[in-house]
Amino acid sequence: MSKFYVVATPIGNMGDITLRALEMLKSVDLILCEDTRETKKILDKYGINTETMSYHAQSKLAKTDKIFELLSGGKNLALVSDAGTPTISDPGAMLVSKIKEKFTTEEVQVVPIPGPSAVITALSASGLPTHEFTFLGFMPHKKGRETLFKEIATAERTFVFYESPHRILKTLESLIKFCPEKKVCIARELTKIYEEFKTGSPAEVLEYLTKNPVKQKGEFTVIIS
């Protein structure tokens, strides 16, 4: 039986990788990476010399065939993303789906190696309700965007999504339009040196970012309740 490990890696602070993740990355025959250059940083830090191969949203069918060939030959593989837990808003989800369609559980066992996830990290320190939440991944740029904001406006549960620094102001403007009374927490640069949480109404958070342009940099996790 081959094993396919879905390995979570740090979202910022390199010290957040688990002992089990390091063990798996050292022991497998090949590591599939969203970007081999990003993965090399953590492999070098921990002295791991395992061979790597890129696998991302633009990877061609030949890459999938190669992965199937390796698994059929008894090789153990690990999948990592650039940061966080693979398959969560990540092209690796499709690969895991294909593996489960292609092989029986007796042939290939898919094994999760849990660890950092931006959505859970942000929720845990937000101070907003977490007993029920919906994760939206990355908000669509156009189609369906307004529909989602309308759903957020009328729902009682918490919503979480990722946003880029280029669109965070526009997103807050949309929240002001559709749900001005909701409470918003933006989590920026999680686990990194400039980590920051800012909570308030959409208007208050927008004003804060507008007055502090430097705070508009980095990746954002947005929580609305």
The per-residue pLDDT for 143 is 82
Q: Are 141 and 34 in contact (CB under 8 A)?
A: no
Q: How far is CA 70 from CA 1, 32, 46, 101, in A?
A: 12, 12, 25, 16
Q: What residue type is 155 in one-letter code?
A: A
Distance of CA 140 to the CA centre of its chain: 16
Global confidence as pTM: 0.91
Phi-psi region of 90 (alpha: psi -120 to 50; beta: other; left: phi over 0): beta
77 within 8 A of 29, measured Cβ to Cβ: yes
Per-residue pLDDT reduced to its tens digit, 146-193: 999 999 999 999 999 999 999 999 999 999 999 999 999 999 999 999
Please give the helix or strand (H or E) that residue 24 lies within, else none: helix 19-27
For residues 30 and 79, give the distance between their C-alpha atoms in angstroms, rounded to a whole number: 9
What phi and psi, each to the nearest 5 degrees, are found at residue 135? -100, 125
Q: How far apart are CA 123 and CA 223, in angstroms?
A: 7
- How far apart, in whole angstroms, are the C-alpha atoms of residue 131 and residue 143? 29
pLDDT at 199: 98
- How would you write the pLDDT of the chain (225 residues) with one tens digit per residue? 999 999 999 999 999 999 999 999 999 999 999 999 999 999 999 999 999 999 977 777 778 999 999 999 999 999 999 999 999 988 889 999 999 999 999 999 999 999 999 999 999 999 999 999 999 999 888 888 899 999 999 999 999 999 999 999 999 999 999 999 999 999 999 999 999 999 999 999 999 999 999 999 989 999 999
How many residues are there in the chain? 225
Class of residue 194 by CB neighbours under 10 A (exposed 0-12, middle 13-18, buried 19+): exposed
**What are the backbone angles phi and psi of residue 110, rounded to the nearest 5°?**
-90, 120
Q: Are 90 and 83 in contact (CB under 8 A)?
A: no
Q: Which residues pair with 223 in a beta bridge?
A: 160, 185
Domains along the sequence of the chain with CATH: 2-113 (3.40.1010.10), 118-224 (3.30.950.10)
d(CA 6, CA 28): 12
What is the rounded distance in angstroms from the CA atom of residue 38 to the CA atom of residue 24? 18
pLDDT reported for residue 109: 98
